Structure 1
Amino acid sequence: MKASAQEPPELPDPGTTADAARAAELTELLGHLTTCWDDERRQLARKLHDSLGSSMTALTMHLALLSQHLHEQPQRDRAAQMKQLLNNIIETNRKMQLALWNDKLEFLGPKAAISELVTEWGREHGIKARASLPDDDPEFTREQGVALLRCAEEGLRNVLAHAQASAVEVILDDDGDQAMLTVRDNGVGPLEAAADSFSCHGLRMLRERARLLGGTLTLGRGPDGAGAALTLVLPKQPA
């Protein structure tokens, strides 16, 4: 009998191989950029604290000593105005530091950082904000902690910009295998197009950060069909 001819082996599609390599290269580059971005924000916040913050505090102390030797009321009034101005600068500097990098993230962990973020945000914007956090302090890598905090920040930012909500809740869950952070509100809910395409650059960056850590980011309506829910899920052992 005549032997049948063997089928030639299938060769990989050069286009597909090149696309996969390009995607891997872009993923690695994005990971490097996000790490550099986080480090630069952390360093800038430290500089604001160590230099500007300490200088403003010293000026406040010197002004208080000087005011003790002022006896005329116009001079004392001017000193009081200067003190108030310095206090305003110190508070602005503190808020800038917090927006850049929350030191609680590094020293106390994501739980403390998220709690402070939610409390400060609710107080500043007059919206009822509540953080639901685990009783214990879960262990996260630094990259996971940053991603969880960035998700909370981006979720609150979108609530303020789009949701028209009167209440928001930030929920952090950890079952030992994965961590899940959800920001949900009682507002108008997301547009379907925004939920599908992540047209907001902040959400797209956050989604890519989640992918780098082997996780997922989803945006949809709340569990009861009202409002919006932004959910970040990260495996405790990154892929």
Structure 2
Amino acid sequence: MIAKLRRRLLHTPLFYKILWANIAIVALGAVAGTVITVWHVTAFPDQEHYPLIALFAGAGVVISVLVNQWVLRKALEPLDRLQTAVEAIRSGSRNVRVELGDNSDERFDRLAEAFNQMLEQIEHDSQRLRQLSHQILQAQEEERRRLAHELHDEAAQSLTSLLVHIRLLERAQNPAEAQRHIQELRELTARALEDVRRVALDLRPKILDDLGLAAALEWRVDELNKAHGLQASITIEGMERRLPREMELVFYRIAQEALSNVCRHAQAKKVAVSLHSDGRRCILEVVDDGVGFDASRLDGRKGDGLGLIGMRERIAMIGGSLEIASRPGAGTRIKAQAPWPQTEG
């Protein structure tokens, strides 16, 4: 019973702690002063009573100061703990939390809880930033590895073949043989130029800057049909005006990554790309009939893989969202959408 009463008193709001303490001081002082004054008047009727009144007044002031100081010091202990936590964070510590303790009230509890939640969110965001930085480095290395592989296996081999045919041309015995080697050199040079052009377009298609997102996606689908033998199609609606360049690049990279995943992993026969606007949003969808996967296991962190994480981060930069729907054996649908800008890009 006493412990329960103590907890209730300790959790009393600061205003009422101070109010009740001063009420107690006034009440006890009034009672004690009256009793002692009556006794003094009765016992010493001929003596002056003003010094006694002054003594009571002085004692009341001292007691009031001491009691209020003690009550305030105890009541403000949660703020002292909060200040200690702030100083610890300022000095570089990141695993600090404010303990509520017994001596608190609802407002201090809410303040401490909000402070702790803020620290946890900062720690979560810091971990997320470190994770994303690591993933960005991995993605950069993967892209460099892919480019090195393509340059070595295609452009470098074409250039090597050029050197071989130049040597054969130098050793030609007659004009007809030389003419044949010249024709082969012309074909090899055209192939090498096409390989370099394709790698450059993969990095940054010029058509995206010149003609916009719709034309770039149509070109990408055409290239997919030619290079991979997929039955790829594209539908574009409501895209009469261009998006800002940043949005066009985001949607293009998402489509590029989605189509790359289809070629590498989906084992699909058909893929459909859709780009449309309903006046308020720009929506991109890539749907395939491949092997699919268990989308319910994606957690937005490790389960997504670098490609899907990159899509989420890209679309988030322009205030959009990404939806992934897939089941084993039922294909995959990736939907990216973002608000249509109020002004033209």
- Answer yes or no: same fold by TM over 0.5: yes
How far is 1:193 from its partner? 5.2
Candidates 191, 205, 211, aligned match of 2:294: 191
SS at match of 2:237: coil
Is 1:235 the equivalent of 2:235? no
Distance in 2 (alpha carbons) for counterparts of 1:228 and 1:120: 21
Report the counterpart of residue 253 of structure 2 in structure 1: 150
Distance in 2 (alpha carbons) for counterparts of 1:186 and 1:228: 7
How far is 1:210 from its partner? 1.1
Report the counterpart of residue 111 of structure 2 in structure 1: 11
Determine if contact 1:216/1:234 at 8 Å carries over to the other structure. yes
SS at match of 1:8: helix
How far is 1:96 from its partner? 0.6
SS at match of 2:107: coil
**What amino acid maps onto 2:309 in structure 1?**
R
How far is 1:187 from its partner? 1.6
SS at match of 2:118: helix
- CA gap of 1:135–1:17, structure 2 versus 1, over 3 A, is closer
Report the counterpart of residue 97 of structure 1 in structure 2: 200
Determine if contact 2:238/2:278 at 8 Å carries over to the other structure. no
How far is 1:134 from its partner? 1.6
Rg larger for = 2
Q: Please say which of residues 136-145 and 116-125 is displaced more in the overlay.
A: 136-145
- CA gap of 1:12–1:116, structure 2 versus 1, over 3 A, is farther
Is 1:202 the equivalent of 2:299? no
Determine if contact 2:268/2:289 at 8 Å carries over to the other structure. yes
Q: Which runs of 5+ in 1 are unaligned?
A: 42-55, 57-62, 64-70
- CA gap of 1:103–1:212, structure 2 versus 1, over 3 A, is same
SS at match of 1:137: coil
More helix by share: 2
Q: Please say which of residues 10-19 and 213-222 is displaced more in the overlay.
A: 10-19
How far is 1:20 from its partner? 3.6
Residue identity over aligned pairs, in percent, reads 28
How far is 1:226 from its partner? 3.3
Determine if contact 2:238/2:276 at 8 Å carries over to the other structure. no
Q: Please say which of residues 210-219 and 16-25 is displaced more in the overlay.
A: 16-25
Distance in 1 (alpha carbons) for counterparts of 2:315 and 2:235: 21
Alignment of 1:213-228 (within 5 A): 213-221=318-326, 226-228=330-332
Candidates 316, 324, 339, aligned match of 1:211: 316
Count how many residue pairs are aligned between Structure 1 and Structure 2.
203
TM-score of the two chains, using structure 1 as the length reference: 0.72
How far is 1:194 from its partner? 5.5
How far is 1:101 from its partner? 0.5
Q: Please say which of residues 196-205 and 4-13 is displaced more in the overlay.
A: 4-13
TM-score of the two chains, using structure 2 as the length reference: 0.51
- CA gap of 1:116–1:82, structure 2 versus 1, over 3 A, is same
How far is 1:163 from its partner? 1.5
Distance in 2 (alpha carbons) for counterparts of 1:216 and 1:12: 33
SS at match of 2:111: coil
